[in-house]
Amino acid sequence: MVAVNFNTISDYHWDEHDEPNSLCCLVALGDFEGGELCFPQLQIIVPLRPRQVVAFSSRLLLHGNFPVTRGIRHSIVYFVHSTFFHHLRDFSSIYEDLEAGIERDARGTVITMIPRQDLNDARNLNSRIRLSQPKKSQTVIPERACDKRRGTIGK
């Protein structure tokens, strides 16, 4: 599926009908400010820029976006089906364990039974949370990188 959006605001949701192991790809286009992509469970806000591509599991991650505050933003949303990743690990058994309420360690041994929960509800967060303005600390991009590891590159 491919969707083309125009200044669309989307409340938090999961794309529950997407195939497991598939990816949602979002491409932002236009001259705009605002419209940040938000993952509330991860407490991450992605300040989208024109021509930037963001890929994520829209079935598993609660997501939405903030309003566009200036300009016009088009976005193209498309899905990469799990068959594209046929050579990668099959996560079907993990989904089956989740449905059955089983958690396993790295060797596959059952370590605990977890209470069954509806991933598309997440304790009714969808009905209580409505998008608002992001905090300034979540959208400000530092003028220079603060990643200290980059200081040793090329030495």
pLDDT in tens, 60-79: 888 998 888 999 998 888 88
pLDDT at 115 over 90: no
**pLDDT for 87:** 60
- Does residue 57 belong to any structural domain of this protein? yes
Nearest Cα neighbor of 8 from 47, 45, 41, 34 is 34
Higher pLDDT, 130 or 91: 91
Residue 90 placed within a domain: yes
Specify the pLDDT at position 31. Answer: 92
The kind and range of the H/E element at 139 are helix 136-139
Is residue 135 predicted with pLDDT exceeding 80? no
Residue 19 has pLDDT above 70, yes or no: yes
pLDDT for residue 54? 93
The CATH number of the domain holding residue 83 is 2.60.120.10
> Between residues 154 and 62, which one has the greater pLDDT?
62
Q: If you average pLDDT over residues 50-66, what whole number do you get?
A: 89
d(CA 149, CA 119): 37
pLDDT at 55 over 80: yes
Angstrom distance (rounded) from CA 155 to CA 15: 46
Domain that holds residue 10: 2-134
Residue 154 confidence (pLDDT): 52
pLDDT at 26 (0 to 100): 92
pLDDT at 46: 92
Task: Provide the pLDDT for residue 20.
Answer: 75
Report whether 15 contacts 60 (CB < 8 A): no
Examine residue 94 and state whether it is found in any structural domain, yes or no.
yes
Q: Does residue 97 belong to any structural domain of this protein?
A: yes
**What's the confidence (pLDDT) of residue 30?**
92
Report how many domains make up the chain.
1
Residue showing tokens 């600390």: 137
